[in-house]
Amino acid sequence: DIYCLRSIKKSLEDPNGYLSSWNFDNNTEGFICKFTGVNCWHDDENRVLYLNLTNMGLKGQFPRGIQNCTSLSGLYLRRNQLSGPIPSDISKLLPFVTSLDLSSNRFSGEIPTGIANCTYLNVLRLDNNQLSGKIPQSIALMNRLKESSFANNGGLCGAPLAPCMHKTLYNSFKEGAIIGYSFSVTSFIVIYLSYCVPWALIIKKRKKNRPKKVKQMVANQICQSLAENYTQRESQEIFKLLERFSSRMSLVELYNATECFGMDNDIGIGKMGMTYKATLPNGWFLAVKRLYDPDLFKRQFVLEIMILGRYRHRNMLPLLGFCIEKEERLLAYQYMSNGSLSHWLQPLESEAIRLEWPVRVKIALGIARGLSWLHHELYIVHLRLCSECILLDQNFDPKISNFGDAKFMSPNLDDDFDLSFEVNNGSDEVGIEKKDVYDFGSVIFELITGKKFGQVTDFLIGTDQSSSLLGFYESIDDSLIGKGFDNEIFTLLKIASDCVEGVLEERPTMLEVYNKMSAIWERHELMESSKSDMSKH
């Protein structure tokens, strides 16, 4: 990150000297955290969380050096005089960014479609620039983004702004010529087909298309019949409010994508409902949770949308949409191909593929990162963390899910939470976040021993910490022992046992846990990934 800031400073013109305080002579850990505009994950660590260079009169192009700040979550460059294009590979430069504010600058050219690949983006401000062309559809579809995010860019058009109507004379002529040409070719084909192709061929083709149409009709009919029984329970206002957090999807769409909620697509059963694997026409996979009862889990349903639909983080399960139609309540998440963590820790005999130690460390680190962000950035507590609600993507990156019991630590966090019913149950309970710390410790024990925390603790009641640790050491998953990681295993056991301290105040905060863990393992993880990057070339 030091290199990142150094290259940013070098690439920008700073007429007002705001960045002159960025003095790189110092070498103490965390020295960059005191620089103007730099916010670190932790004050003693050179790892930038946010970079806020608002209103500094900076000139030059988009600072590509930002890609070296690998843990960056927010970039604010508002009110400067930056110019040139927004880099087309922006998602590679800012893979984990959740807020990007480039407003009130002089950026020009088209908005790169690649911005939509910044999958954790919640806030995007591009207004008051000199951008032109059509707003890429993939960005317009990110409906957390508002019209004001794009306003005051002379040449910009398309949703959520006004449609692109304007055509130059040349374009109109070119289009006219293309239309004329297409019309002649189409006429020729029509005449050829009418006279030369045997009717039998056409009939055969029609038959082939029929099943798809029939399926669509059946789905529509089902929706129609459900609609007749429909009694509107929640007010339209709540639905509208929810649309601000996530996309509303249609029942027919999800019905088709899950093959009518068919048994072949069912991937799990939970307290709230059944989860199905869904395939969208564009090839995306979703996990669709279909609630058993729309009234019973209303609060949980809304919380999932308000938290997982609204906030993106690499360790939170992304909610891509929801559906409220008739009696149906559906939640559509990104599909996690490696399922739940519990499935890997307690596999059936036939599926006993063990997780290697480095993978377990990556999972532990990811959960700590996600929880730390949740507590210290969003002021939200999960309150039901367990190995079942940690889902693993194709790279075994963990994603925290199931926010149905979550609480906001501050009741008036944000105007958006002003819901008209009892959802925003802000909690005044002191130390409520330490419940998550305890649960985190339990999950880590489970990650190391392969057994539920309760099973291991029973015989340890009354022992002091060091003999408990030895006790736990005895119950470590056999597949991990003697592979050269024993010291690391013991270190993680120690962190976990601090988390399950009986006295609330003695448990560390999630930020402390994460910082401790990342100091030990994140460098190792980065080294590993750069090694594998190198071996690719």
Ligand X SMILES: Nc1ncnc2c1ncn2[C@@H]1O[C@H](COP(=O)(O)OP(=O)(O)OP(=O)(O)O)[C@@H](O)[C@H]1O
What are the residues binding ligand X (CB under 6 A)? Answer: 267-268, 270-272, 275, 287, 289, 317, 333, 335-336, 339-340, 388-389, 391, 402
Question: What's the closest the beta carbon of residue 327 comes to ligand X, in angstroms?
Answer: 19
Question: What's the closest the beta carbon of residue 405 comes to ligand X, in angstroms?
Answer: 8
Question: Comparing C-alpha atoms, which of 403, 382, 373 is closest to residue 303?
Answer: 403
DSSP string, 97-150: -SEEE--SSEEEEPPPGGGGG-TT--EEE--SSEEEEEPPHHHHT-TTS-GGGT
Say if residues 105 and 77 touch (Cβ distance below 8 Å).
Answer: yes
C-alpha torsion sign, points 505, 509, 510, 515? negative
Question: Comparing C-alpha atoms, which of 72, 55, 76, 71 is closest to residue 123?
Answer: 76
Q: Which is nearer to ligand X, 160 or 270 (CB)?
A: 270
Please give the Cα distance from 223 to 71 (Å, whole number). Answer: 45
Question: Comparing C-alpha atoms, which of 518, 159, 190 is closest to residue 373?
Answer: 518
Q: Which is nearer to ligand X, 361 or 406 (CB)?
A: 406
Question: What's the closest the beta carbon of residue 292 comes to ligand X, in angstroms?
Answer: 10
For residue 446, what are its two tokens? 């489970």
Which DSSP letter does residue 342 get? Answer: H
Residues in CB range of 351: below 8 A, 6 or more apart? none
Question: What's the closest the beta carbon of residue 340 comes to ligand X, in angstroms?
Answer: 4
Q: Which is nearer to ligand X, 388 or 512 (CB)?
A: 388
C-alpha neighbours within 13 Å on the C-beta side of residue 202: 8
Q: Which is nearer to ligand X, 315 or 402 (CB)?
A: 402
Please give the Cα distance from 334 to 119 (Å, whole number). Answer: 11
Please give the Cα distance from 326 to 6 (Å, whole number). Answer: 56
Question: What's the closest the beta carbon of residue 272 comes to ligand X, in angstroms?
Answer: 5
For residue 488, what are its two tokens? 């690391």
Question: What's the closest the beta carbon of residue 279 comes to ligand X, in angstroms?
Answer: 13
Q: Which is nearer to ligand X, 51 or 319 (CB)?
A: 319
Question: What's the closest the beta carbon of residue 390 comes to ligand X, in angstroms?
Answer: 9
Q: Which is nearer to ligand X, 350 or 535 (CB)?
A: 350
Q: Which is nearer to ligand X, 302 or 389 (CB)?
A: 389
Q: Which is nearer to ligand X, 103 or 275 (CB)?
A: 275
Q: Which is nearer to ligand X, 158 or 294 (CB)?
A: 294
3-class SS at 460? Answer: helix
C-alpha neighbours within 13 Å on the C-beta side of residue 312: 26
Q: Which is nearer to ligand X, 75 or 317 (CB)?
A: 317
For residue 66, what are its two tokens? 């930002």
Strands 247-248 and 155-157: unpaired
CA distances from 235 to 232, 332, 475 (A): 7, 22, 53
Question: What's the closest the beta carbon of residue 268 comes to ligand X, in angstroms?
Answer: 2
Question: What's the closest the beta carbon of residue 6 comes to ligand X, in angstroms?
Answer: 40
Say if residues 163 and 189 touch (Cβ distance below 8 Å).
Answer: no
Question: What's the closest the beta carbon of residue 159 comes to ligand X, in angstroms?
Answer: 28
Question: What's the closest the beta carbon of residue 256 comes to ligand X, in angstroms?
Answer: 19
Please give the Cα distance from 53 to 37 (Å, whole number). Answer: 6
Say if residues 362 and 288 touch (Cβ distance below 8 Å).
Answer: no
For residue 83, what are its two tokens? 């110019």
For residue 479, what are its two tokens? 């597949």
Q: Which is nearer to ligand X, 171 or 337 (CB)?
A: 337
